Chains A and B, each alone.
Chain A
């Protein structure tokens, strides 16, 4: 009999104390809320300030691009000189087999290319195009480890079937200039498992002079690119390049143009993949094997300025997460290569 009473008494006392505590909590809660709002406003303010600071830094990095002076000296040359020993003509083709498609990934940072947090290297220029800002680099035990965001340059890839490509080109003009005698005819295509066909064609126009790094009249042969070279992104390893081109082309899906104009870059290099198709660091490059890389990068040159801005490519290719792949980075490895010097 006593039990229910006890229970009810204890219940009501609990309720009262809850109400009391709730009141106190409510009052204190208001204070906490007001404080939190202030903090939040402060955080927004700090985030905005940080954002502004970051934008300013990125602009400064673009302005201190190391190739600006060199490019300025070459950009307006009307009659550039030709290659020592004369023009080189070449074809690179793949008639069958598949391709490797690079997927967004966080690049491991090689100290040979990027230095250390105390002595960083390769940070100027448009982020991702010629440099990697230090704040974008992750650090562990006093060393850079990897990029803090995904780019087209990393270890992740997938193989897609029925890849063919044909590059027929001529390297005549040696340096960057206002005009070029270099020539490029390029087309490549591959399929997905559903049978959709993807293709890239180039070049309606060659990069006679690079906006941010030299492009040698649009075609270069027998040169080092990427990595520590300062020519092209340092997120690719330093690689001997038998031939490369830069120009404006178009991206197709199932025969329809889905993006145009786009900067298209192709290169025949020494082999820069390792086990599991991971992207090599400088010390892991295989000099005695070659492969061809096609890059349609998520960047476009800024009109009238010597820099790039981020601009995703419409590829029409859906990633497993449902998003559209915002670039094409495609490797061809079953190649027939032919070349000769002279006209």
Chain B
């Protein structure tokens, strides 16, 4: 039970995986705990802001496989969150771990958010498309605990 609620804190995806694996009993138990789960299941493991001065508010964040990172555009400028070779024009602006899928938020207007759940461990270097020259940061994804 403590293991289940611990996992439920992370992502909807993690909750679904646990529910699928353990069947009806757990489903019933998690329904009892529904208010708590509803508040916390969507909570990202990390939230990163985007600024008016070409930066992400955290240079590096560490999460575990299956966890979600949320980016919020706190600025008045349109930014993106991108680790997609199709969008990059410079070698140093992005890097994906081997076998990892690329991602690209598209244009994020002021106050818009973007979430991405990391499924492959490793070091992700990402950037903002219009500000590729300066606006870059890193997410390090570690194997999930117990794996």
Q: How far is the CB of B108 from chain A (nearest CB, A)?
A: 10
Pick from A97, A276, A289: contact of B77, CB below 8 A.
A97
A26 in the interface, Cβ–Cβ < 8 Å? no
Q: Which residues of chain A are near B134, meaning CB under 8 Å?
A: 273-277
Picked from B52, B55, B130, B133, the residue with its CB within 8 Å of the CB of A334 is: B130
Q: A271-B133, A289-B133 are in contact. Are A334 and B54 (CB under 8 A)?
A: no
How far apart are A116's CB and chain B's nearest CB, in angstroms? 28
Q: Is B2 an interface residue (CB 8 A)?
A: no
User: What bracket does the count of chain B residues touching chain A fall in?
Assistant: 10 to 19
By a CB distance below 8 angstroms, the chain B residues around A286 are 90, 132-133
Q: A97-B77, A97-B109, A289-B89 are known contacts. Are A159 and B52 too (CB-CB below 8 A)? A: yes
Which residues of chain B from 41 to 56 have a CB within 8 Å of any chain A CB?
Answer: 52-55
A300 at the interface (CB under 8 A from B): no
**A150 to B: closest C-beta gap in Å:** 19
Known: A98-B52, A275-B54. A161 touches B110 (CB 8 A): yes
Question: Does any Cβ of B come within 8 Å of A20's Cβ?
Answer: no
A288 to B89 alpha-carbon distance, docked (Å)? 6
**Residue among B53, B77, B132 with max Cβ neighbours from chain A (10 Å):** B77
Within the complex, the shortest CB–CB distance from A154 to chain B, in Å, comes to 14
Contact of B131 with A by CB under 8 A:
yes
> Which residues from chain A contact B132 at a C-beta distance below 8 Å?
271, 286, 288-289
Instruction: Say if the beta carbon of A228 comes within 8 Å of chain B.
Output: no
Nearest CB in chain B: distance from A287 CB, A: 9
Shortest C-beta distance, A97 to chain B (Å), equals: 3
Chain B residues within an 8 Å CB radius of A99: 77
Q: Which residues of A contact B (CB under 8 A)?
A: 96-100, 158-162, 271, 273-277, 286, 288-289, 291, 333-335
CB<8 Å pairs between A and B, sample of 9: A96-B109, A97-B77, A98-B75, A159-B53, A159-B76, A161-B76, A161-B110, A286-B132, A335-B130
Nearest 6 pairs of A and B residues by beta carbon: A97-B78, A288-B89, A159-B52, A98-B76, A161-B76, A286-B133
